[in-house]
Chains A and B, each alone.
Chain A
Amino acid sequence: MNAHRLGLAAVRSASASTPFFSQTLPRSLLAATLSTSSSSSLSTPSLKRPITTQKLSPEEGQQVLANQRLNRPVSPHLGIYKMEQTWFGASAWTRITGCTLSGAAYVYFTAYLVSPLLGFHVESAALASGFAALPFVLQGAVKFALAFPFTFHFINGIKHLVYDLGVGFAKKDIILGEKLLWISSLIGGGYLAFGL
């Protein structure tokens, strides 16, 4: 909630009771008077100023700005979204799942290339026989760890391609899309891991 909205709320409630206020009053002025008024000014109109301004030189202003910039979060970051807003549908999840899959592929194919030099076996036959020796639960877990990022990245990727067409930005569509995304990718990941 910002000072502007506080001022607007004050205008609305004030204009309901007194004919003095009208729409033509400058709102910024109202916001300023409200934000500098004291908390116990019902009877006394004394002016306390909890927020003060001070004159700064351009150099000092730059220092303030530089210090403020140090507090900024890195921009594409899950921490900047509210959980109840777009956290679950954030495109960062596409990036995280994509990096998981691509990272795994990069590690595997690099290992495949250097394995003859280092003398270990990661070719498909060795990998498949090693995987077959694992217990069912562990097999399922490994499969799900690969399948869920795939289904999520796949479905959220399509969702974002639709967004790129400029479609689906209504609030209720976003919420619905988020729910469908998580349900379908969890079910899809589970099916690929345990159903096939």
Chain B
Amino acid sequence: MASIVRPSLLRQTALAAKPAFRNSALRASAFHTSTRRSAFISPGPQRIEGTVNDPAPVPPPSAAHGSYHWTFERLLAAGLVPLSVAPFAAGSLNPTTDAILCSAVLLHSHIGFQSVIIDYIPQKSHPGLRKLFMWGLNLATLTVGVGLYEFETNDVGVTEAIKKLWKA
């Protein structure tokens, strides 16, 4: 059926089509894929497992890595809104709120850096690099946690330090 209709359809369409649509460059552009190379990190060797038509693998469902994690991230971020404003707005120095703010900021930063690593260092193509960065981040967060504890106990506390620096 299609082979019978095709020539007559072609003539009709070609007659009716506007000149812009007969531009061959425009016609071919629909089939082009991206030629931009990634900026930060090489895509690495590409191995296609299975056939080209297989869907992407779905990881086993885990609420701790899925919805609970997502909700926790959002609650933490939402909680930081009043936590980061209150000490400066109230103008009072309270070691407890300072400690809560520091812990929340540290966790928020850690989760944020984790998601950056997850996005830019694919587990599949760079498993070793991923592991290195994840453990490097764990070490950095631990170091900063100890540093924050030292700062809170031996120095004036984060809120007060920022105030001092700002008014210097």
CA distance A96 to B105 in the complex (A): 16
Q: How far is the CA of A29 from the CA of B43 in the complex (A)?
A: 37
A124 to chain B, nearest CB (A): 4
Given A79-B36, A112-B151, A123-B155, also A99-B12 (CB < 8 A): no
- State in angstroms the CA–CA spacing of A104 and B37 once bound together: 30
Using C-beta atoms within 8 Å of the partner chain, give the interface range for chain B: 35 or more
Q: How far is the CB of A188 from chain B (nearest CB, A)?
A: 12
B53 to chain A, nearest CB (A): 9
Query: Known interface pairs A99-B113, A102-B113. Does A74 touch B16 (Cβ–Cβ under 8 Å)?
Result: no
Indicate whether A73 sits within 8 Å of B36 (C-beta atoms), given known contacts A20-B12, A21-B12, A50-B28. Answer: yes
SS class, residues of chain A in contact with chain B: helix
How distant is the Cα of A79 from the Cα of B39 in the complex, in angstroms? 9
Interface contact A45-B10, CB-CB below 8 Å: yes
Contact A124/B165 with A39-B24, A69-B43, A99-B113 known, Cβ cut-off 8 Å: yes
Chain A contacts with B in 23-78, Cβ cutoff 8 A: 25, 29-30, 33-35, 37, 39-42, 45, 47, 50-51, 58, 61-62, 65-77
Instruction: Write out the residue numbers on chain B whose beta carbons fall within 8 Å of the beta carbon of A67.
Output: 46
A67 CA to B2 CA in the complex, in Å? Answer: 34
Q: Given A79-B36, A106-B144, A109-B151, are A10 and B27 neighbors across the interface (CB < 8 Å)?
A: no
- The docked-state distance in angstroms from the alpha carbon of A116 to that of B167 is 26
Complex contact B77–A157 (CB within 8 A): yes
- The answer to whether B36 touches A65, judged by C-beta atoms less than 8 angstroms apart, is no
Chain B, Cβ-Cβ closest to A34: B13
Asked if residues B38 and A74 are in contact (CB atoms below 8 Å), the reply is: yes
The distance in angstroms between the C-alpha atoms of A42 and B21, with both chains bound, is 13
- Least Cβ–Cβ distance between A104 and chain B, in angstroms: 10
Q: Check A72/B12 contact, CB under 8 A, given A10-B21, A50-B27, A105-B144.
A: no
Q: Contacts A6-B30, A45-B7, A50-B28 known; A110 to B147 CB distance under 8 Å?
A: yes
Given that A13-B18, A73-B34 are known contacts, is A109 also in contact with B112, CB under 8 Å in the complex?
Answer: no
Cα–Cα, bound, A34→B38 (Å): 34
Q: Could you name 26 residue pairs across A and B whose Cβ atoms are closer than 8 Å?
A: A6-B27, A10-B13, A14-B12, A20-B12, A34-B27, A37-B10, A39-B24, A40-B22, A45-B10, A58-B52, A62-B48, A72-B34, A72-B43, A79-B39, A95-B112, A95-B116, A98-B112, A109-B144, A109-B148, A110-B140, A110-B143, A124-B155, A128-B164, A128-B165, A154-B84, A196-B166
Beyond A9-B17, A68-B33: 18 further Cβ-contacts under 8 Å?
A1-B26, A3-B27, A30-B9, A33-B10, A34-B13, A34-B17, A62-B52, A70-B46, A71-B36, A74-B38, A74-B40, A74-B119, A98-B109, A102-B112, A109-B148, A112-B147, A129-B168, A131-B168
On A, residues with C-beta under 8 Å from B are 1-3, 6, 9-10, 13-14, 16-18, 20-21, 25, 29-30, 33-35, 37, 39-42, 45, 47, 50-51, 58, 61-62, 65-77, 79, 95, 98-99, 102, 105-106, 109-110, 112-113, 123-125, 127-129, 131-132, 139, 143, 154, 157-158, 161, 164, 196
